[in-house]
Chains A and B, each alone.
Chain A
Amino acid sequence: MKKHSFVALLLALACFAGRAEQPKLVIGAVYVGSVNDYGYNRSFHDALAQVARDLPGVKILEAENVPESATVEGIMEGMIQQGAKLIFPTSFGYAASARKMAKRHKDVAFEYAGDGDASRNFGVFFGSTQIAWYPMGVAAGRMTKTNKLGFVMGMPIGYALGNVNAFQMGARSVNKNVQTIVVVTGGWADKAKEAGAANALIDQGCDVVGMHVDSPATIIQTVEARGCKSIGFQSTEARALAPKGWITGLGFTWAPFFTQVAKDVMAGKFRGEAVYQGLGGMVAIAPFGPSVSADVQKQVNDAAQKIIKGFNPFTGPIKDNRGSVVLPPGASIGNDQMGGFDWYAEGIIGKVK
Chain B
Amino acid sequence: MSELALRPFLRQALRHALVAVAALAMFAAILLVAGKDPLRAAADTCRSMTTVYGFSELLVRMTPLLLTAVAVALPSRLGLINVGGEGQLYMGAWLATAGALWFPAAPRWVLLPLVAAMGFLGGALWAAIPGVLRAMKLVNETIATLLLNYVAPLIVSYSIFGPWKAPGSSAYPESPAYPDAALLPAFFDTRVHGGLLLALAALLAYWILVDKTRWGLQMRAIGGNAEAAQRLGIPVAVFLVAGLALGGGMAGLAGMGEAMGVHGRLRQGLSPGFGFTGFLIAWLAGGRPLGILFMAFLFAIITAAGDTLQITQGLPFSVVNILLAMILFIVLARRPGGAR
Name A residues whose Cβ lies closer than 8 Å to a Cβ of B: 1-11, 13-14, 16-18, 28, 61-71, 73-75, 77-79, 81-82, 92-93, 95-96, 114-116, 155-159, 161, 186, 339-342, 353
Is B13 touching A77 in the complex (CB atoms < 8 A)?
Answer: no
Q: Which residue of B60, B267, B294, B308 is within 8 Å of A2 (Cβ)?
A: B294
B318:A65 contact, CB within 8 angstroms: yes
Q: Check A14/B46 contact, CB under 8 A, given A1-B294, A64-B316.
A: yes
A134 to chain B, nearest CB (A): 20
The A contact surface, by secondary structure, is helix
Residue of A nearest to B300 (CB): A3
- CB-defined contacts of A8 to chain B, threshold 8 Å: 17
Instruction: Give A78 to B44 CA distance when docked, in angstroms.
Output: 9
Number of chain B residues whose Cβ lies closer than 8 Å to a Cβ of chain A = 60
Q: How near does chain B come to A2, taking the closest CB pair, in angstroms?
A: 4
Q: Chain B: which residue is nearest A34 at the CB level?
A: B316
Query: Taking the complex as formed, is B198 at the interface, i.e. its CB lies under 8 A from any CB of chain A?
Result: no
CB contact under 8 A between A9 and B318, given known A70-B263, A93-B267: no
Contacts of A69 in B (CB 8 A): 269-272
B170–A342 CB distance below 8 A? yes
B138 on the A face (CB < 8 A): no
Closest to A30 in B: B311
Q: List 10 A-B contacts (CB under 8 A).
A: A3-B301, A18-B40, A63-B307, A65-B318, A67-B269, A75-B307, A75-B310, A114-B171, A157-B172, A158-B171
Bound-state Cα–Cα, A14 to B39, Å: 8
Minimal beta-carbon separation of B161 from chain A (angstroms): 6
Closest residue of chain A to B331 (Cβ to Cβ) is A2
The answer for the CA separation of A28 and B47 in the assembled complex, in Å, is 18
Contacts of A156 in B (CB 8 A): 161
Contact A81:B48 (CB < 8 A) given known A66-B317, A114-B171, A353-B162:
yes
- Whether B170 pairs with A341 at a CB distance below 8 angstroms is yes
Q: Tell me whether B42 and A13 are in contact (CB under 8 A).
A: yes
- In whole angstroms, what is the CA distance A147 to B170 when docked? 30
Contacts of B157 in A (CB 8 A): 186
Q: Mark B255-298, 1 if CB is under 8 A from A, else 0.
A: 00010001111011111100000000000000000000011011
CB–CB B170/A157 < 8 A:
yes
Write the chain B residue with the least CB distance to A13. Answer: B42
Contact B161–A9 (Cβ < 8 Å): no
Candidates A2, A28, A93, A342; contact of B16 at CB < 8 Å = A2
Distance, CA A148 to CA B58, complexed state (A): 53
5 closest residue pairs by CB, A with B? A339-B171, A158-B170, A5-B17, A14-B46, A13-B42
Interface: B144 (CB within 8 A): no
| Closest residue of A by beta carbon distance from B327 | A2
Smallest CB-CB separation from B258: which chain A residue?
A70
Which residues of chain B are within 8 angstroms of A342 by Cβ–Cβ distance? 170
Which B residues lie within 8 Å of A339 (CB)? 170-172
Q: Are A9 and B171 in contact (CB under 8 A)?
A: no
* Interfacial chain A residues near B272, Cβ < 8 Å: 67, 69, 71
How far is B20's CA from A161's CA once the two chains are assembled, in angstroms? 51
Contact of A6 among B173, B191, B264, B301 (CB under 8 A): B301
- Is B51's beta carbon under 8 Å from chain A? yes
Query: When chains A and B are docked, how far (Å) is the Cα of A155 from the Cα of B268?
Result: 12
CB distance A93 to B268 under 8 Å? yes
